[in-house]
A and B are shown apart, each in its own frame.
Chain A
């Protein structure tokens, strides 16, 4: 007689090999190594210490500089300084002019001298974004809503409005042989700009709806000319570049204002003032019969960081994120070790025996190290960015205003960048299986390009290339203020990166995704050990 003996099976514990258990196991592995915990805390601390130590304020300037920076309709800091010859415009109407010449001077006597400019401090040249043309503005208070059609130094005819918007019109520069006709029409709060090369065939350049442009506005001719930006040259390494004052003169005729007061007279006035060097002499407005000349100095446009197009000492929260790459250096080391020590100690065999689905083991490690560096990194960056801005502000620096959404993006985005870099390090650690190789590879891939890109060791074009194609592009998430092609400036790290914030971090994510995929593939294919 045979009896069937049912072999004893232990009751299965539900979810024993679940992902949550795996996460818990990996978290335990991390948290019980005191050296690692200390290291990541030190990384977070360094982000704050270095970020807060970076002194960027200028005590000579004090809070006096900050009081006068106007903000535009979008809340951004703006330059709004030009010479205006205008008449009131009570309702709908239009202004049309012919621009017959645009000339300028650049004065380096009180600005930035190079060997060439010392011999010839005042030169009759135009800066690229010298502007003269027609404008309709809500008021002459700096920061008002406006729309303008203008001839520029070397960017052809443009329509610009509300400081940040810029639309290209007819190309080429203005001469007596090839004048430009410009027209702005107002219909309520909608302004439309037109240009023409012959005064007969007109082309629409753009349309702007300006909020707050109600009631009587001012319409007229204007001229302004921003500082000439002299980039940092290796032989002037200590100076960090500089700027010279400039002025532009526009000559107008065939002026036609429709909708203005009957028998109205053109009245000249300086609008706003920037904080830059003394402008060249000759600012003002002259009228001889139907011919007008307007000479102005300044700029109508957004203020960019690093104090280039204005006299303001400006900063952004990115200035206080210098410590991030140092913290990243440490987090990369820990993240790589998170897997390589398992290979060195042979623990990987145990880990894989406990979790035979190897991809899930890697995923659990990635989640643990990613979340940890994200939380710690974001917290440290928040302290550095917010407290740092406060310190800079109190030391007399004008922090460019940004919305809270942008601040949140910078803080959480930088935390995310640290997390993605850690996952990249973990993945390369899995692929290479050796600590030295993995740590060196990630540092050479992320930290080194960042350092080469920002330190000025490389020529500008090479720096830009490095910060575009290497994983260091991820640092672009630190930018809080946009670049404007209509404002010349030192668009350089730490305030500006060649890629936008989101495309920059997408480059880093792409590298991390490829590395993680390769790591998962190799982990499955290779023997552990």
Chain B
């Protein structure tokens, strides 16, 4: 196997060593059987695993770069004469890159769990930490932290680039557009919501990947989940009831409403409720994953 996975394995061994050293501390009472690691140890172990896998930094960088680049390219391709003939939503245009960035987020989330299954590391992990749900919770927590940090950079960069480019293209307040500005409450909501959106996509992907286990199948399943419903909804034009159903209950369709700042009356579901739908999907996937972890053999 490649050097990358050898490093990954050794990184995980390091994590294991840490976990093992941690045992006496948490299960400190002499003579008791409570030898399982505590929450801080689980977090530390997962953080070490993720930190020492060489891919993580690159993937997080890719989230930021792709999100900002696609957003900037979309902004550059957006040209409008006057406000009425071309009602664009500058904040939404600037944040278009999230549509691509979320694919990379999903990949990172899949790697967090299926990497362990494909190398057999999962046996070691569960031996060290028999409370399997805690492993999943720790993975989710570490992943969320990393994703929130990366998403903040990505969203801030996208909005800055979008503002700069769109202003250059004549999308200004003088022409009747809602400019990308942090003094605009809707933009702030879209920005904060987008950061949460990316983190929730990560958690949903983590849940699905834990359920599916195989890395390739998990990647396909997660990306299918993200991208198939929007397109299917688009072509269900003849059946508005179905289309509304998808818009309202599909994770990405509902969740992406958070980036909308103009034409709010066209939304079938309000931005925060939409993000709530995505959160419910993520929670459901993680719950199902946690239950399956308990029920299945590793």
Min C-beta distance of A49 to chain B, whole Å? 11
Closest to B209 in A: A436
Closest to A116 in B: B84
Chain A 483-504, CB-CB to B under 8 Å as 1, else 0, gives: 0000000000010000000000
* Cα distance A83–B223 in the bound complex, in angstroms: 54
Q: Answer yes or no: A283 CB below 8 A from chain B CBs.
A: no
Q: Answer yes or no: B19 CB below 8 A from chain A CBs.
A: no
What is the number of residues of chain B that contact chain A, defined by CB distance less than 8 Å?
A: 52
In the complex, chain B residues whose CB is within 8 Å of the CB of A458: 74, 77, 96
CB-based contact B238/A443 at 8 Å? no
Q: Answer yes or no: B273 CB below 8 A from chain A CBs.
A: no
With A326-B228, A447-B227 already in contact, the answer to whether A54 and B236 are too (CB < 8 A) is yes
Min C-beta distance of B237 to chain A, whole Å? 6
Min C-beta distance of A75 to chain B, whole Å? 27
Q: Answer yes or no: B32 CB below 8 A from chain A CBs.
A: no
In the complex, chain B residues whose CB is within 8 Å of the CB of A437: 107
CB-based contact B234/A455 at 8 Å? yes
Chain A 309-330, CB-CB to B under 8 Å as 1, else 0, gives: 0000000000100100110011
Q: Answer yes or no: A462 CB below 8 A from chain B CBs.
A: yes
CB-based contact A443/B220 at 8 Å? yes
Min C-beta distance of A198 to chain B, whole Å? 37
In the complex, chain A residues whose CB is within 8 Å of the CB of B4: 434
With A343-B1, A447-B223 already in contact, the answer to whether A452 and B100 are too (CB < 8 A) is yes
CB-based contact B103/A329 at 8 Å? no
* Cα distance A127–B289 in the bound complex, in angstroms: 59
CB-based contact B216/A459 at 8 Å? no
CB-based contact A234/B89 at 8 Å? yes
What is the number of residues of chain A that contact chain B, defined by CB distance less than 8 Å?
A: 55
Min C-beta distance of B212 to chain A, whole Å? 11
With A322-B231, A436-B216, A459-B78 already in contact, the answer to whether A55 and B238 are too (CB < 8 A) is yes
In the complex, chain A residues whose CB is within 8 Å of the CB of B263: 234-235
Identify which of B110-118, B186-194, B279-287 touches chain A.
B110-118
* Cα distance A237–B264 in the bound complex, in angstroms: 12
CB-based contact B118/A57 at 8 Å? no
Q: Answer yes or no: A454 CB below 8 A from chain B CBs.
A: yes
Q: Answer yes or no: B73 CB below 8 A from chain A CBs.
A: yes
Min C-beta distance of A471 to chain B, whole Å? 15
Chain A 40-57, CB-CB to B under 8 Å as 1, else 0, gives: 000000000010001111
* Cα distance A529–B5 in the bound complex, in angstroms: 11
Q: Answer yes or no: A375 CB below 8 A from chain B CBs.
A: no
In the complex, chain A residues whose CB is within 8 Å of the CB of B74: 458-459, 462
Most buried by A among B85, B227, B230: B227
Q: Answer yes or no: B266 CB below 8 A from chain A CBs.
A: yes
Closest to A319 in B: B235
Q: Answer yes or no: B31 CB below 8 A from chain A CBs.
A: no
In the complex, chain A residues whose CB is within 8 Å of the CB of B220: 329-330, 332-333, 439, 443
Chain B contacts with A in 26-85, Cβ cutoff 8 A: 73-74, 77-79, 84-85
Pick the 3 closest A-B CB pairs, nearest first: A435-B216, A333-B220, A462-B77
B residues lining the A interface (CB < 8 Å): 1-2, 4-5, 73-74, 77-79, 84-89, 93, 96, 99-100, 103-104, 106-107, 110-111, 114-115, 118, 214-220, 223-224, 227-228, 230-232, 234-240, 262-263, 266
Q: List 9 A-B contacts (CB under 8 A).
A: A116-B85, A233-B85, A234-B88, A325-B228, A434-B2, A436-B115, A455-B234, A459-B78, A461-B79
